[in-house]
Amino acid sequence: MAMTKQEKEDAKREKEYEKKHKRKYRLTPGDIVFNICNYLFFTLFTITCIFPFWYLFVNTVSRNDYVQRGIVNFWPKGFNIQNYLALKDVGDLGSAFIVSVSRTILGTALMVVASAFIGYIVTKQEMWHRSFWYRFLVITMYFNAGLIPWYMNFAMLGMTNHYSAYIIPAIVAPYNIILVKTYIESIPAELEESAFIDGASYMMVFRKLIWPLSKPILATIAIFGAVGHWNSFQDSLILMSGNAKLFTLQHRLYIYLNQSSNLGALMNGADSSTAKSAIEQAMNTKVIKYTISMVSVIPILCVYPFMQRYFEKGIMLGAVKG
């Protein structure tokens, strides 16, 4: 189909614009060098971040004798999953896993809800003594009495050897509340005003408007909370010493690591070649350490892909106030 005169003129203008645009934004030699250096830097940085996890993984799925001799570097040698299967022999490992997962899910959920609600109400001028309560909340970030008073408070409240010690202290997180408050303040006030004109209450505005619009920052603090709960070790070690059923996975794997180290010392001091061989087959200290590290890291790494699309937006909008 033949082009009309107007279409030909439009095509000509587009070509002229493209040529001008290309000349205007043509990369200079300095730009090319900068881009190459930039890509190289971030490629090396990415490899530096990923390689430790890859190194641990290939050593946990390789033959133990190869790992012990230090000949496994980049690729698995002699595929072997017995190191992971050996973890089932750890006493109460299943219950420890359930405790860690449950505290991570429940603790994170309660923390997100509390941070969202408190972060919302402290933005309201109608709140009674709003400035005082907000400053009272923030000031708690600057003081820490230490480990002994911390333990004495839990003991006085009867929370030692009790599951609630994992959940209740982490519900109110001042730093996360500040992030949520700053993010909510970036939401146009006209949206709330329109909702109030239509007869909506504060709770309805929070549920129907603020909560959906705050998903990026809520996903961000959810990652912070989940990582904190999953990696928490001190509270289990100190507060749950009298109730082994409430040990977290990190605590159980720490005990397992100590046991493997003790077996390694026993192996080095064994006089009988038969006993030494049996211990070598039962437990390879180096590989066990690698396996423990992988078991501790993999579950929480699975959280990031689901939250990644919210994470960057939540950090940028929640932390920068123009």
- The residue count for the chain: 322
CA 186 to chain centre: 25
3-class SS of residue 154: helix
* Proportion of the chain above pLDDT 90, given as a percent: 16
- What pLDDT score does 111 carry? 95
pLDDT for 174-225, tens place per residue?
999 998 998 888 888 888 888 888 888 888 999 999 998 888 889 889 988 9
Domains in the chain: boundaries? 24-80, 84-319
Q: How confident is the model at residue 313 (pLDDT cuts 50, 70, 90)?
A: low
Residue-level pLDDT at 285: 65
* Choice between 311 and 124, residue whose per-residue pLDDT is larger: 124
The topology under which CATH files domain 84-319 is MetI-like fold (1.10.3720)
Residue 132: other Cβ atoms inside 10 A: 10
Each as own residue / partner, the long-range contacts of residues 77-86 (CB below 8 Å, 24 or more positions apart, any chain) are 83/284, 83/287, 83/288, 83/290, 83/291, 84/60, 84/291, 84/295, 86/283, 86/288, 86/291
pLDDT in tens, 131-147: 888 888 888 888 877 88
308/212: higher pLDDT: 212
Residue 75: CB atoms within 10 Å? 8
d(CA 171, CA 167): 7
pLDDT of residue 21: 60
For residue 115, the model assigns a pLDDT of: 93
* Rounded distance between C-alpha atoms, residue 29 and residue 165, angstroms: 61
Confidence category of residue 36, pLDDT binned at 50, 70, 90: very high
CA–CA gap between residue 300 and residue 228 (Å, rounded): 10
pLDDT-based confidence at 315, cuts 50/70/90? low
Taking 60 as the threshold, does the pLDDT of residue 244 lie above it? yes
Average pLDDT over residues 14-34: 72
